[in-house]
Amino acid sequence: MSFLNNVITGISLGSIYAIIALGYTMVYGIAKMLNFAHGDVIMVGAYVCFFATGSFGLHPVAGVLLAMVVCTILGMVIEGLAYKPLRQAPSLAVLITAIGVSWFLQNSAQLLWGAAPKVFTPVVSGGLSIFGGQLNISYVTILTVASCLVIMAVLSAFIGKGKMGKAMRACSEDKGAAQLMGINVNSTISMTFAIGSALAAIAGVLMCSAYPTLMPTTGSLPGIKAFTAAVFGGIGSVPGAFVGGLLLGIIEIFAKAYISTDLSDAIVFLALIIVLLVKPSGLLGKYVPEKV
Q: Enumerate binding residues for another protein (CB under 8 A).
A: 163, 166-167, 169-170, 173-174, 176-185, 286, 288-292
| Calpha distance 260→196 (Å, rounded) | 33
| Calpha distance 103→195 (Å, rounded) | 22
CB atoms within 10 A of CB 69: 14
The smaller minimum CB distance to another protein, of residues 209 and 237, is found at: 237
| Calpha distance 194→188 (Å, rounded) | 10
CB atoms within 10 A of CB 248: 27
The smaller minimum CB distance to another protein, of residues 55 and 291, is found at: 291
Task: Write down the least CB distance from residue 120 to another protein, Å.
Answer: 40
The smaller minimum CB distance to another protein, of residues 3 and 287, is found at: 287
Query: Which of 274, 220, 221, 207 minimizes the C-alpha distance to 247?
Result: 274
The smaller minimum CB distance to another protein, of residues 216 and 236, is found at: 236
Helix (H) or strand (E) holding 223, with range, is helix 220-233
| Calpha distance 228→179 (Å, rounded) | 32
The smaller minimum CB distance to another protein, of residues 117 and 162, is found at: 162
The smaller minimum CB distance to another protein, of residues 90 and 132, is found at: 90
| Amino acid at site 56 | F
Task: Write down the least CB distance from residue 197 to another protein, Å.
Answer: 24
Task: Write down the least CB distance from residue 283 to another protein, Å.
Answer: 17
Task: Write down the least CB distance from residue 113 to another protein, Å.
Answer: 40
The smaller minimum CB distance to another protein, of residues 49 and 167, is found at: 167
Task: Write down the least CB distance from residue 275 to another protein, Å.
Answer: 22
* HSE of 111, CA atoms in CB hemisphere, 13 A: 6
Task: Write down the least CB distance from residue 86 to another protein, Å.
Answer: 18
Task: Write down the least CB distance from residue 26 to another protein, Å.
Answer: 15
Is the separation of the CB atoms in 261 and 33 below 8 Å?
A: no
| Calpha distance 140→64 (Å, rounded) | 14
Give the three-class secondary structure for 180: helix
